[in-house]
Chains A and B, each alone.
Chain A
Amino acid sequence: MKILVCVSKTPDTTSKISFTADGTKFNDAGITYIMNPYDEWYALVRACELVEKNGGTVTLINVGGPQNDQTIRKGLAIGATDAVRIDADPNSSLFIAKQIAEYAKEQHYDIIFCGKESIDYNGSEVGGMVAEFLDLPFISFASKLEITGSTATLNRDIEGGVEILEVETPFVVSAAKDMAEQRIPNMMGIMKAKSKPFVVVPPVDFPDLAVPVKYVLPKEKTGVRLVSPDNMEELVRLLHEEAKVI
């Protein structure tokens, strides 16, 4: 089984977000970067489990600059077989997906994994884009994936429930919580990662069609209004008359 896992690098979940004074760029002073949790905990770990059970390879792919190498090495330490970095400084999801699709099209992967979304741009777009470029089925927000021969059975999270479906390889899937359990890389994994194949390839030309041009922080709450626990009628009144939400 030949698997590709798309990973991105994002600020840690506890990061305090701020921007440059003119609001055009993310201010990364003091920010710790991590591998996007959905990519790491669910997509990558499930891909490794499938290969451990059925044999095969897991290739990690990232579109980014050399500052991402540490994150990619972590993925190798968790269990990926090898890694590819497309050497670019991407500004849009369509650009990223195009790079991944161009690399993947000659490789004939059985499964291409993404996380359900990145926790920075929250677009949830790259998986579908890659699938469309490669003319493959795409199953989004999968919380379970089992495979027998070339048939995969997946649970897809939908509003208020779950859809169970089958698809033949090859396909693209985006992984949500419950697909796997987070793995902490061990010493052996970290040592092995150092000698695993890791190639850097140049990007193909592709225009950005939608880019963020300005960032603002949401309005701060003006401060909580405390209501006495003995006076829930007052809370109801405030919600009705002041907040107008009931």
Chain B
Amino acid sequence: MVLVFAEAVNGHLKKAAFEAVTYGSQTAQLLGSQCVALTLGNVENAGQLGIYGASKVYNVAGSNLANFDSQVFTSVIAQAAEKLGATVVVISHTSTGKSLLGRLAARLNAGSVAGAKSLPDISGGGFKVTKGVYSGKAIATYEISSPIKLISLGGNEIPLQSTGNEVAIETLELTVPASRTKVIEVKRQEGIVPLPEAVTVVSAGRGMKGPENWGIVEDLAKVMGATTACSRPVADADWRPHHEHVGQTGVAIRPNLYVAIGISGAIQHLAGVNQSKVIVVINKDPEAPFFKAADYGVVGDLFDVVPRLTEAMRKFKAS
């Protein structure tokens, strides 16, 4: 059986949770088995997991699950895996998932793949999964040999697939330990799709000259329904918030479309964005290294080009 931990924020499942269940149900199909989803704490739309292939959805309730604590969540997920007899456990490669993956691997004595890119290859009785390594510069195939296999699925790696219907939630009685951490405050920008989940990202760099010029970037992002990002020097100079910084030392992203404005394309920047499906680069320097990693390029002054692109997008969206 494939057990998927479906992650929620503020009582609502994340897109990553639906992706994980889609992945889990396709894996279950390969194995001739079933996909079961697990939600923790209060989750309002958990039944929707059935649409993406969960044959059952379990919920564990408990006030200790209201805030995330890797130790508490690990204990509960591991108990569920043991009780339900899971042979594959799937979670999302999000900040929550990354806090859980190592713990679960140690707890379940499971071989793990962090940030999986593909469904398992089970030919020849093996169990092989690919993932990005060297900060996106290469792809490695991992072979898992333990009885329980553990996978965290990378964001935007698999298209959502609806195959079924909503299912009823069943309660699972497990021991929920007390948390040894105390959450004081969560500051989250509301109303935007967080970068790791974003399908479209508009990103800008030092070519913008100063924070006062970001209006044109925000306008473009708004028209495209994109999340904004920036290069490291821009975040370091406090032109933009820290959580917008993408690249080797920032957030690694894999959107369908990455629009890079006034960013030179240094190797450390590319490390965090080169897994984007399509890259558009706008830069006045035809020699900017980013053009080598781009699918589409515009050589021009961003202060002219970006407003024009926004206008063209607006017309397209309206048509």
Contacts and interface: CB of A to CB of B under 8 A. Distances in A.
B176 interface: no
A226 B187 contact: no
Given A122-B114, A212-B133, A224-B295, A232 B102 contact: no
Contacts of A13: 135, 248, 267-268, 271
A211 B126 CA distance: 12
B95 interface: yes
Interface in A168-203: 168, 171, 177-178
A229 B281 CA distance: 11
A233 B245 CA distance: 29
Contact of B137 (A161, A217, A221): A217
Interface string A12-42: 0111010100000000000000000110000
Contact of B316 (A130, A226, A236): A236
Interface string B134-156: 11111111111110000000000
Contacts of A139: 70, 99, 181
A212 B181 contact: no
**Chain B interface: which size bin?**
35 or more
A106 interface: no
Contacts of B183: 163-165
A245 B304 CA distance: 23
B184 A140 contact: no
B299 interface: yes
Contact of B257 (A129, A137, A227, A245): A245
A177 B243 CA distance: 10
A225 to B, nearest CB: 5
B98 interface: yes
Interface residues of A, number: 82
A188 to B, nearest CB: 28
A176 B278 CA distance: 28
27 contacts: A13-B248, A13-B271, A17-B138, A38-B249, A93-B105, A119-B134, A121-B114, A121-B140, A122-B133, A128-B70, A137-B69, A137-B181, A158-B95, A158-B186, A160-B188, A160-B195, A162-B186, A164-B183, A210-B113, A215-B141, A218-B274, A221-B293, A232-B309, A233-B316, A235-B309, A239-B296, A240-B316
Interface of B: 68-71, 74, 94-96, 98-107, 109-115, 128, 131-146, 180-189, 192, 194-197, 200, 224, 242-243, 245, 248-250, 252, 256-257, 267-268, 271, 274-275, 277-281, 291-301, 304-305, 308-309, 311-313, 315-316
